[in-house]
Structure formats: C-alpha cells, structure tokens
Amino acid sequence: MPNKTAIGFIGLGQMGGSMAERLLADDVALHIHDPSPAAASRLVARGAIAHDSPRQVADAAAIVFACLPSREVAEAVALGPEGVAQGSAIRVHVEMSTIGKTCIESIADGLAARSIQTVDAPISGGPPAAREGRLAMMAAGPAQAVAQVTPWLARIGKQVYVLGDRPGQAQLMKLINNTLMATNLVAASEGLVMGAKAGLDAAVMFEVLRAGTGHSASADDILARVALPRSFDFGARLSIVEKDVHLGLDEATTLGVPARVMQAAAQIWDEAAQKGWGERDFSSILKLIEERGGAEVRRVT
C-alpha cells in the first residue's frame, strides 16, 4: 500500500463534489465536510472520511481545499470558530470559491495570523468540465504554497494558470472571465431569439455561429446544449452568476474602469432574479430573453 497524503476538501456541491471525487486515489486520504450528509455520502462510499466541521478537516490535513457558494460561507469556513483557522494540521488553505478580491485578501490575512498560507485558486468550466477533469485552474499566492498545491490542482483540471504571488489576483481573473461569460450569454441569447423570431432553425444557427466570427463558449458550450433539447439544466444556479457579475462590476468600479456593456447585461440578470428565478439553472437566462422577444430558440423541422 502506498503512503497516503491527507488532503481536505470542504464544500461538495455540483462543482466541489466532482472536484473532490477526482482527488480520490490510492495515495490520498481524503477528508471531507459538507453541511449536507447526502452530499458527502457518495465520496464516503468510495473511501473518503467525513467530518462534522471544517476545523476537524483542518485537524487531519495539511492542505485543505474549499469550494463554497458565497463570501459569507467562505469567511465562516476559513475564519469562524469551527473554521479551518482553528485546525492543528493545516498549512495551506486553497480557496476555490468565487468570492472577490477583497474577501480573499481578508481570509488570507486572517489565516496568515495563524501561520497558514492561502492559495487563491478559482476555477472555470462548469459542472460538466468538473466531472471530466477539464477545468481551467487559476492560482495566486506565495510561490512555495502554489508549487505545493499545483500537482493536486492538476488532478482536478486540465491546466493551471499562475496569476501572481498575491491572493486576489486569481479572483480578479476569474471575475473577468465570469462577467464576460454572463455578458456573452445575454448577447448570444438576444441574437438567437432574433433569428428564431425570423424563422431560422436553431440547429443551423448554432452551426453557423460555431463556424463564424460569432463563435463563443456561451453559444456553443452552454446555449446549444440546453436550447436544442429544451432542457435547461447546465448545472449552476442563476443566483450564482448574478452574484459573480456584480462582484466583477465592483472590481471595475474600484479600478475606475467603465463597464457599460457589463452593466447592461447585469440588468438582465437582475431582472431574472427579481422574477424569482434565482434557484433556476443559469442557462434559463435564454428563456427570459425568449419571453421578452416573443419567440423560442428551437429546431424548425
């Protein structure tokens, strides 16, 4: 039997659960925590060790990953009374949540006071990419800590991009990516609905966009996957995308960069949230554009 390295993973939702699953191996003792026992059960069945709190995970593992839904949860998991900061074994906290530059800097400062290094490591690619190990991984933090966790990140995703030596730099890149995705998704939806209302076949429109200069991941990887079967289940809540868009706009404001197109797209995401769609899949933004335009993006024949 090989010697096992203890690795921690906190947050086992659609993204976190798939990423944690990729760390299961003969050379890993995977220590996990999630408020939902059901979320942990699949991993426990494959040999992971479940714990009752983030602190217990940090008592067992020197490297602890976290993939969490909000800034508030990320701060509590890192710095709360039962957070990883109280753990006895942890040396590196790998924050994979999309929480913004200010929040990760606060977490890094709080953990540094306990001699724990922070690697800012958000991911991009969505649930299908998480399941298949195709995520793009970003990392920023002390060089030694980034080097220490890079082999584990490589097990989760296809490529690791190092953004710098300060936590927050990777968050900024992630927010740029997510805000562009959300903006492109609105624009692509509007264009497709325009075509649908004029009688164009959805399948042919996607083929043309894929071959032409209108190509985008928003159209090809997201909208084509949900519009053609009319199954809006790409795998992330609309409220998460709305949150990320506003985090991105906050950073633009802080940096003094005008972001008028992103602001216009944010209004569409806000409209969907105000309709009570926050728990729907984020690809449902196409349905909102369809309602506004009076046409559905479908196959004609």
Domain covering 5-165, topology: Rossmann fold (3.40.50)
Residue 162 is inside which H or E element, if any? strand 157-164
Domain covering 172-293, topology: N-(1-d-carboxylethyl)-l-norvaline Dehydrogenase; domain 2 (1.10.1040)
pLDDT, tens only, 151-162: 999 999 999 999
The pair of structure tokens assigned to 117 is: 């290094």
Domain ranges of the chain: 5-165, 172-293
CA distances from 210 to 127, 186, 281 (A): 22, 17, 23
CB–CB of 86/51 below 8 Å?
A: no
CB–CB of 192/202 below 8 Å?
A: yes
Walk along the chain (301 residues) in steps of 10 and give the mean pLDDT of each run.
87 96 96 95 96 99 97 98 98 97 97 99 91 95 98 95 98 96 98 98 97 92 94 92 96 97 98 98 98 97 76
Report the pLDDT value the prediction gives residue 221, as an integer from 0 to 100.
87
CB–CB of 8/64 below 8 Å?
A: yes
Residue 67 is inside which H or E element, if any? none
CB–CB of 243/282 below 8 Å?
A: no
Report the pLDDT value the prediction gives residue 2, as an integer from 0 to 100.
59
